[in-house]
Structure 1
C-alpha cells in the first residue's frame, strides 16, 4: 500500500504541474474555455493567497506554513506505525497537493489556478487547481477516517 501512496503522491504533483503549465500556455492571455456551458470552464488566475484568496501577498507565511505542515505529515507517514493504508493515502494526497502549490509559490511567487466552477448567477466558486483538489479530497478523507475511528489500526494488546 505504500507503493500506491507513493504513486498518488507523485501523480498529484506531476498532474498539478503539467496542468498548470498548460493553463499558463493556453489561458494566460486568452479567454476562458467553456467545458460544460457556464458551469465548468478553464479560466487563468494568479492567486497570491490561500484558499478563497485569503491572506493575499503573504508569501513567506505560506512557505513556512507549508514546510511545517510537510514535516508533520512526513513524520506521521514515516514514523507512525499504526496508520491504516487509507490514512497513508490521505496523507499522500495532502502532501502532494501542498507540494504542487509550494512549487508555484517558490518559482512564481503565486499559485496558478484555472478550474472555474459556476452555479449560474447564484454562486461563482473560487477558481482552483489540481493541487487544491488533492489537498481538499485528502483532508476530507482524513476527517472521515478520524470520525469513524479508522485513521489508526486498533492495538490488539491494548
Structure 2
C-alpha cells in the first residue's frame, strides 16, 4: 500500500481516522441529499414505478426503527441513535482493534446512524423511498442510510465469523504506513 493511502486509511496500530470519517460523512451527505430530493418532489404518499412488479420510488415516513417498531417513541429513537453514535466514536480505537477493514465497517455504520438520526431530530421521522417488492409482497421501504448500516453489519458479520478482511500474514512496515 502506498504511504499516502496508508496515511488516509490508517495503519494497524490505530492510525489516522480520515477514511472512516470521510466514508461516514459521505454516506450521511448522500443520504440527506437523496431524502431532500424525495421530500422536494412531493408530499408523503407519492409513488413512481421504476421496474414494474419489482421496484418503486416512494415517499413514506417511518416514525419508528426497522419495520416501524417503536413508532410511538421517535424522540427516544433519536436519543438512542445519538448515544450509539457517541459510543462508536468513543470506543472507535478499541472496536477497530488494529484492523483496517473494520474502519470500513465503522464508516458505513456511523454514516448510516447519522443520516437517520438527522431525520429523527429535524424531520420528526425517517424518510424512506426505496420500495422493492415481488408482486404483492413488499419489503419495507428503506433509504441510503439503511443500506449503509446493513452493509456495515454484514461486513462485520463476515469479519467476525469467517475472518473476512483480517490479515493472514503480518504486514510489512511499508504496508502499515511507516516511513
Change (3 A) 1:153 1:35: same
1:114 aligns with 2:114: no
Cα deviation for residue 78 of structure 1 reads 3.6
User: Structure 1: where are the runs of 5+ without partners?
Assistant: none
Q: TM-score, normalised by structure 1?
A: 0.87
How many positions carry a matched residue from both structures?
A: 154
1:60 aligns with 2:87: no
Q: TM-score, normalised by structure 2?
A: 0.77
User: 1:126-155: CA deviations, max 9, x gaps?
Assistant: 01111111011111111111112457779x
User: Structure 2: where are the runs of 5+ without partners?
Assistant: 1-8, 10-16, 171-179
SS of the residue corresponding to residue 112 of structure 1 reads strand
1: CA distance, partners of 2:147 / 2:140: 12
1:72 aligns with 2:107: no
Which has the larger Rg? 2
Residue of structure 2 equivalent to 1:87 = 102
Q: Which runs of 4+ in 1 moved over 6 A?
A: 151-154
Cα deviation for residue 119 of structure 1 reads 1.1
2: CA distance, partners of 1:29 / 1:57: 19
**Contact 2:19/2:107 (<8 A) preserved:** no
1: CA distance, partners of 2:52 / 2:96: 48
Cα-Cα RMSD: 2.2
